[in-house]
Structure 1
Amino acid sequence: MGSSMCLFIPILLPFFLLMSDFLNTCSSFSTQPLCSESESLALLQFKQSFKINVSDSHNPFAYPKVSSWNSGKNNDCCSWDGVLCDRGTGHVIGLDLSSSYLYGSINSSSSLFHLVHLQELNLAHNNFKDSQIPPSIRYLSNLTHLNLSYSSFSGQVPPEILELSKLVPHILANLSSLMYLRLESCGLYGEFPTEVFKLPKLQSLYVGYNQKLTGYLPEFNSSSPLRFLSLANSSFSGFIPTSLGHLSNLIYLSLGSNNFGGQIPFSLANLTQLIWLDLSFNAFNPQTLSWLGKQTKLTYLNLQYINSNGDIPSSLKNLTQLTVLFLGGNQLTGQIPSWLVNFTHLTRLCLYDNNFSGLVNFGLFLKLENLSFLYLSNVHLSFPINSTFNTNIPKLHLLALVACNLTEFPIFLRYQHELEYLHLWKNKIHGQIPKWIFNVGKETLELLDLSHNFLTGFESFNHTPLVLPWASLLYLILDSNKLHGSLPVPPPSILFYSVKQNTLTGEISPLFCYLSSIDYLDLSHNNLSGMLPQCLSNLSTLLSLNLQKNNFHGTLPTTYREGCSLKFMDVSYNQLEGQVTRSLSNCKMLEILLLGNNRFIDIFPSWLGKLQMLRALSLRSNSFHGAIGKPKSNLEFPKLQIIDVSHNKFTGIETEYEKIQDFLIVVDLSNNRFEGEISEGIGNLKGLHLLNLSNNILTGRIPFSLGNLSELEALDLSKNQLSGEIPQQLLQLTFLEVFNVSNNNLTGPIPQGQQFSTFENNSYLGNTRLCGSPLTKKCNIPETSTQPPLISKQGEDSKFPSKSDWVVIMMGYGSGLIIGFIIGHNLSIRELEQFAKKFGRRRYK
């Protein structure tokens, strides 16, 4: 017997649905028999097993249907809310308790399963506390419609329901009477059976939002009664069959965000009953939109990122019932047609990321009185003069005019008092931000993005500091402008605040201490100064703090507490001093800590080893000193991949570490005072891309085991005292693009062929006893380009170095090595960023 775990995707746990349009009301007639006493009692017992919790449904029309159930005067259950009885027998055949605020569990002994005549059962949008669907559901053998969606069921779907497995069962194809099947957001995976599409009575099929669910569309029969088909946000692939255009009853088609390819069939022009069409985010072949125009009942059309080209066809002007039109992310050309003004029902319009030409009069969009959502980019706009505005211009909630060559703030914004999202980034807006902008969405604005312009400050700003007035503002992005003066203070509501790459001066205002909800704060690449406010360590919601490349001095804040949420901190390139505050050990979620290029004086902060999430640590160019010691805890930096300790005064690594970390990506011990030999155990670092041991006092031979580092792209052993020959095994490093062994005591022939044919003289300078190409000195023995056999893997007990098992690393995560740890950050260690770009393979760019 199979079983299935139906995982819930966004908020609630799973659901399995097989249902048809369910009756919302029940009717009773004077001639209709009363319901049986046993069924009435079963319903009352079922009611008593639950609490009513109004927070357990997000349906605005929800109400507690069971509140009308009682055993008093109105004891005929056929008249109760949500109950449907058979007119002939009085048996309960339908139960609709959807959105009834039910809170509790259903077990196998529930009186629900005494209602053996039930044909339709709808328990959707309640909260059954992650309980499993009881096996006793098999007693409801007359069920034809079952809806348990959005009701916090979890665990296995019992095999008693058609013996379901974790894959969509092919037995569904035998349900010849099935009219309605809904399995959205159910964590399904595997291949969906094509037979289901051909069920003779199926009218509605919703299996979208199962990202691991694969499959393809079959050939359809013109006699199919299918009216609703949704596969959105899944992993279906293949071509859309021409026969899909034969489904003359289809009114809802949603295939967006899948992997469909090939041509969009012109037969879709035959789907004249369509109200909803979504083909967005698929990999179709380039083609025009000439198949559009006959679907005159369409109200929703989403064709974003489908590789459409050519002009917007004139036939599209027939779709005047549209309320939503999304054509962004294509290669559409020509002019934005003026007949869009006839789309008077339009509420949302996206035309971004296309190749439109010509000057577009923005007045066209201002005539769409119902428009609330407008997204344009790469369009050359002209704006009507102020006198043309009237009270009938649309009340926008979202406006995005991105890379539209704007040179000033559009005057019509003065009249947008309900705006929630305003994107004007990547334009050419010069000068000051006008003071009237503070009245734009003063109570409603949630996002303001003015980045990548030429803004210098706020008009008539005479107070220090400037406190921005938007009461609901959550996201404020002013990056890459020419802002100067003191740092503007966002409102307490702010979650995300970034003003990087400006010329702001002065100190961080104490008012920042009151940003109790902030998640992301980026003040980097400015000229801010002063000491860091202690209160920065008290912002318990702060996830990311970037203060790099300013002029801050003094110490780090010292009062990080239990519950600290920080994941990312970059205070590099300042003038901070003293010791690294040990209170950072309370930031258990910290992943990236960059302290480089300051004036810290401290020993190696081995106590950071207990931060189990720490992946990158930069201490470069400070005055850290002494040996790199082992953390007192036994965790020893369990996830560390990148650590920069270069340009300090470290003298060695203690010898107590038990096992080298084999997932390290980059290693740089350069510009320190390390000495001794390099162990063959270094060959265990199979994930290594960059290795820099230059400018130390290392002796001995270059290990043969370096030939095992098949991912290695850069190797720098220069400025040491290494001797012996360059191992022929290094010819196995087929990705090696940077190689430097200059200024050592190496002897013998340089390996020939493979990547070594690309390295120049300066890779070998200062080794007078080396010979062979590219040097002019000839060798006395025949040179060989024969690739040596692979070095066998080192045993599990191999060590690096010979008396130490822990490696400090640095370099080059600007090329993408840790991007994704903190979404949206382009992280790098500055001096090595260009180096990484120079040799990093394309997949890391």
Structure 2
Amino acid sequence: MAGEYKRIPGILTVNDLSSNKFSGEIPESIGNPNGLQALNLSNNALTEGRDCCSWHGVECDRESGHVIGLHLASSHLYGSINCSSTLFSLVHLRRLDLSDNDFNYSRIPHGVGQLSRLRSLNLSNSQFSGQIPSKLLALSKLVSLDLSSNPTLQLQKPDLRNLVQNLIHLKELHLSQVNISSTVPVILANLSSLRSLSLENCGLHGEFPMGIFKLPSLELLDLMSNRYLTGHLPEFHNASHLKYLDLYWTSFSGQLPASIGFLSSLKELDICSCNFSGMVPTALGNLTQLTHLDLSSNSFKGQLTSSLTNLIHLNFLDISRNDFSVGTLSWIIVKLTKFTALNLEKTNLIGEILPSLSNLTGLTYLNLEYNQLTGRIPPCLGNLTLLKTLGLGYNNLEGPIPSSIFELMNLDTLILRANKLSGTVELNMLVKLKNLHKLGLSHNDLSLLTNNSLNGSLPRLRLLGLASCNLSEFPHFLRNQDELKFLTLSDNKIHGQIPKWMWNMGKETLWVMDLSNNLLTCFEQAPVVLPWITLRVLELSYNQLQGSLPVPPSSISDYFVHNNRLNGKFPSLICSLHHLHILDLSNNNLSGMIPQCLSDSSDSLSVLNLRGNNFHGSIPQTFTSQCRLKMIDFSYNQLEGQIPRSLGNCKELEILNLGNNQINDTFPFWLGSFPELQLLILRHNRFHGAIENPRANFEFPTLCIIDLSYNNFAGNLPAGYFLTWVAMSRVDEENFSYMQSMTGFVLIRTYRLYENYNYSMTMTNKGMERVYPKIPRSFKAIDLSSNKFIGEIPKSIGKLRGLHLLNISSNSLTGHIPSFLGNLAQLEALDLSQNNLSGEIPQQLKGMTFLEFFNVSHNHLMGPIPQGKQFNTFQNDSYEGNPGLCGNPLSKECENSKSTAPPPPTDKHGGDLESGRKVELMIVLMGYGSGLVVGMAIGYTLTTRKHEWFVKTFGKRQRKC
């Protein structure tokens, strides 16, 4: 029968609607796994019988009966639209809405270009993919176009410029999450009718055209999540109709203009995670229609303007992670009483939590983390009965947790970590919190009682932080926690085995587990591969684990098992972990050879730390061309052979530490082209040969620390490299930070479980071998000690003005200690001992006011030791083995010690001038620190120039003394 259809639950198959009249309603659930025959409609079929206009989703013109609209949003459509579909015969169609369906990643059909009368097209969130067809640009009457939330859809050929050039009548343009990957064309500012523009997460870059902000009808502008899109806010005018402005996670910068106060219609302003700076203008208080204000994670500073109290309709305020001086909460609480969300994290809040905060009874979100709040948690917070998130971590709160907090039935997230809270927490306190999913109690003085009987069932947790909660065993209630994603039990006293029942805890959900800093010895009935199939981070470090290395699941990203007692060989299964980002097995008893397959994983690994084991043999030879390693630490093993030349593929390398092995090679000059290499440690190996001059002018440009000590390097000190190590010539004045690899997980906006992975090293400083668990980025150090270097100290070393440590002891250096070492004003440790240096210690070294360690022992130095400033702090052992030295702290006094300087001679115009021979002798003696030849030359010059230079130089020096 023509027009027959078969009704199957959720499915409608239309066989033929081209020449028949039908009435009735198209089921709300329309679809067909074999294609969208449900859309195989013709205009004639629908207009011959007007009853079809009553079908669900069909809109007809009342006079002509033509189908002018299809509204099939959220209709469970599935499949693809064939280009021959009679849908494209509906030439009178003005509105087509197929949003929120599943077109199975098919392409937008070219036939859409035939619908020339379309004014509104909505294909959002419908799983379309591929390039947007150029035929769509023929729809010149379009007023509204929404292709958003189709992340596999592309607008590149044609591109955004082509679209804007053709669709000049647009009032609404929504392309969020469409792959555009281009700049924003300036001609977009010509769309004078544009009211709504949404370009969220489109891969936009370059400078955003400022003229778009001034479009006369613009009400919504959404540019969020385009990290490489730059721009500035313009000077606004009072005719603006802007209501919603979202620049979240872009690179907009500059200051907020005072003219922002003209945006009197603005309801939402979100500039979170941009690069704005300066003071927040008072005029922001003029935006009295604001309901949502997010200024978080910028560089705003100063006192927050009190004019914000004018924003009486504000229900969402986030000013966290800036450099504000908020002070107390009182000014916010008094007038702004409509809050549903308040985020004041890291805003320099001081004092106690005000009890009046409990008057904000509409609050569902409250975050006061990372401040300097003191005192107790007020029990009246229990009045906030709608509260879903409470974050008070990283403050100085003390006392017990009020029982009223455990009466907040709607709580989803409770984060109290890193305070000074005390007392006990019983499991029964959690029974009432049926909606609790995230609980963070770590790093307080709390004790969790886990062995008491329960009066009900505990909530199903997804995040649980119990670090440093005085636990001595695994809490038994974890047996039933099968939805956990994040678990930290670190810094407790949990001892013995990891029980086998843990295998089923979060087996299919767990992302992060941290058991570090306990007394764990082994896994009970350990499987070959740990069973948590979604695990990304596993922290087992600082325990007493024995036996072979546990192999994590294939999902693992960060694996920390350092500082244990593991032994045996390196499991080859580790090489099959293709998502592995950080692998730290340091300070165990692992042995055997490092498997060659590990270097094949260098295309995913960022950190590889095998320090302090018993590995022998050669370093793996096949680092791939896609190597992404940033840090390699193979120190304190028994590795032999050469540094593999394939390591040259690892251009992102920042840290290379091969110290304390048996590597036999020459200096790896070929690492000089690495643009990010900051630390190179080759100490205690068998490196040999001369270090030749660099082959380019910019080798090792970012190197801050180099340690070549205890090798067999020979020849002169590497004077050429001292000129190319430009990072050491800079005096860093930036904010203090450590060398680290970016990692970690932000679990919720108020909880960060993992910080970055800090690089570490061992280095001799101030005469002692010192472990650096963290390496300051500003630390600059050179250790070339205990080699076979010869010759004089080169002048180029005086260029390295940022140096903090210089150790060239235990070599065969000759000549004088050069006075230009006094230029190294940042130097804290200078070790020149155990060489063949001669002459005096230059007086210019007294200018090194940061110098804490100075050792010139066992040389051939003579003359007076500089006195005053830092030199008054050095003891005898800094100078021993130099019989020619005199003065404090040595017992040997210098001749003429009572005379601080010779009297200044005068020329023929100044009167009494001693004989030329006497003056020549004096200058020769003063020049002795620079060598006999230099002294003679100065004496000769002085005689021939009638002593003018001597009077100018040494006359002034005497007056200064």
TM-score range, shorter chain: 0.7 to 0.9
**Aligned counterpart, 1:626:** 689
Residue pairs, 1:360-371, within 5 angstroms? 360-371=425-436
Distance 2:288 2:263 in 1: 8
Distance 1:371 1:177 in 2: 42
Of 775, 780, 783, the residue aligned with 1:668 is 783
Residue 141 of structure 2 corresponds to residue 77 of structure 1: no
Distance 1:280 1:480 in 2: 31
Q: How much has 1:430 moved relative to structure 2?
A: 1.2
Q: How much has 1:626 moved relative to structure 2?
A: 3.0
Residue 571 of structure 2 corresponds to residue 509 of structure 1: yes
Contact 1:321 1:345 (8 Å CA) reproduced = yes
**Aligned counterpart, 2:918:** none
Of 188, 204, 211, the residue aligned with 2:268 is 204
**Aligned counterpart, 1:132:** 183
**Aligned counterpart, 1:181:** 245
Of 299, 302, 324, the residue aligned with 2:364 is 299
Q: Say if 1:67 and 1:258 are closer, same or farther in 2 by CA, change over 3 A.
A: farther
**Which structure would you say has the larger Rg?**
2
Deviations 1:616-641 (A, max 9, x none): 33222223333334678887545444
Distance 2:586 2:201 in 1: 44
The structure, 1 or 2, with the larger RCO (C-alpha pairs under 8 Å, 6+ apart) is 1
Contact 1:716 1:741 (8 Å CA) reproduced = yes
Distance 1:703 1:311 in 2: 61
Q: How much has 1:342 moved relative to structure 2?
A: 2.4
Contact 1:549 1:574 (8 Å CA) reproduced = yes
Residue pairs, 1:96-495, within 5 angstroms? 96-99=146-149, 103-105=154-156, 106=159, 110=163, 115-116=168-169, 118=170, 120-127=171-178, 129-158=180-209, 160-161=211-212, 168-197=232-261, 199-218=263-282, 224-269=288-333, 270-377=335-442, 378-385=444-451, 388=454, 392-461=457-526, 466-495=528-557
1:155 is paired with a residue whose SS is strand
**Aligned counterpart, 1:594:** 657
Q: Say if 1:171 and 1:586 are closer, same or farther in 2 by CA, change over 3 A.
A: closer
Contact 1:62 1:100 (8 Å CA) reproduced = no
Distance 2:64 2:430 in 1: 58
Distance 2:435 2:634 in 1: 47
Distance 2:702 2:329 in 1: 50
Q: How much has 1:558 moved relative to structure 2?
A: 2.7
Q: How much has 1:293 moved relative to structure 2?
A: 1.0
Q: How much has 1:163 moved relative to structure 2?
A: 7.2
Instruction: Return 683-692 or 558-567, whichever deviates more.
Output: 558-567
Q: How much has 1:713 moved relative to structure 2?
A: 1.2
AA paired with 2:567? T
Q: Say if 1:67 and 1:82 are closer, same or farther in 2 by CA, change over 3 A.
A: same
Q: How much has 1:350 moved relative to structure 2?
A: 0.6
Q: Say if 1:613 and 1:232 are closer, same or farther in 2 by CA, change over 3 A.
A: closer
1:188 is paired with a residue whose SS is strand
Task: Report the RMSD for the aligned CA atoms in angstroms.
Answer: 3.7
Distance 1:428 1:698 in 2: 54
Distance 1:69 1:249 in 2: 48
Q: Say if 1:169 and 1:243 are closer, same or farther in 2 by CA, change over 3 A.
A: closer
2:570 is paired with a residue whose SS is coil
Number of residue pairs matched? Answer: 733
Contact 2:174 2:196 (8 Å CA) reproduced = no
Q: How much has 1:92 moved relative to structure 2?
A: 6.8
Q: How much has 1:33 moved relative to structure 2?
A: 13
1:584 is paired with a residue whose SS is helix
Unpaired segments ≥5 residues, structure 2? 1-56, 69-87, 92-97, 125-139, 216-228, 729-779, 902-961
Of 616, 624, 639, the residue aligned with 1:561 is 624
Distance 1:244 1:723 in 2: 70
1:382 is paired with a residue whose SS is strand
Contact 1:282 1:306 (8 Å CA) reproduced = yes
Q: Say if 1:574 and 1:293 are closer, same or farther in 2 by CA, change over 3 A.
A: same
Distance 2:103 2:342 in 1: 27
Residue pairs, 1:674-753, within 5 angstroms? 674-753=789-868
**Aligned counterpart, 1:761:** 876
Q: Say if 1:208 and 1:32 are closer, same or farther in 2 by CA, change over 3 A.
A: farther
2:405 is paired with a residue whose SS is helix
Distance 1:251 1:121 in 2: 27
Contact 1:34 1:76 (8 Å CA) reproduced = no
Contact 1:719 1:742 (8 Å CA) reproduced = yes
Q: How much has 1:468 moved relative to structure 2?
A: 1.3
Q: How much has 1:144 moved relative to structure 2?
A: 4.3
Q: Say if 1:69 and 1:128 are closer, same or farther in 2 by CA, change over 3 A.
A: same
Distance 2:674 2:417 in 1: 43
Q: How much has 1:374 moved relative to structure 2?
A: 1.2
Identity among equivalent pairs (%): 44
Deviations 1:613-667 (A, max 9, x none): 4333322222333333467888754544433222222332498958732434322
AA paired with 2:454? T
**Aligned counterpart, 1:546:** 609
Residue 886 of structure 2 corresponds to residue 771 of structure 1: yes
Contact 2:703 2:725 (8 Å CA) reproduced = no
**Aligned counterpart, 2:80:** none
Distance 1:163 1:223 in 2: 18
1:780 is paired with a residue whose SS is coil
**Aligned counterpart, 1:578:** 641
Distance 2:141 2:686 in 1: 84
1:286 is paired with a residue whose SS is strand
2:556 is paired with a residue whose SS is coil
Distance 1:264 1:65 in 2: 56
Deviations 1:208-266 (A, max 9, x none): 22134433152676892221111111122222344433422111111111111142342
1:292 is paired with a residue whose SS is helix
TM-score (norm. length: structure 1): 0.79
Distance 2:556 2:447 in 1: 31
Distance 1:59 1:571 in 2: 53
Q: How much has 1:173 moved relative to structure 2?
A: 4.4
Instruction: Return 377-386 or 468-477, whichever deviates more.
Output: 377-386
1:720 is paired with a residue whose SS is coil
Unpaired segments ≥5 residues, structure 1? 1-24, 37-43, 48-53, 84-89, 787-845
Contact 1:26 1:78 (8 Å CA) reproduced = no
Distance 2:209 2:501 in 1: 62
**Aligned counterpart, 2:218:** none
1:643 is paired with a residue whose SS is strand
Q: How much has 1:782 moved relative to structure 2?
A: 4.8
2:473 is paired with a residue whose SS is coil
Q: How much has 1:562 moved relative to structure 2?
A: 2.5
Q: How much has 1:459 moved relative to structure 2?
A: 2.1
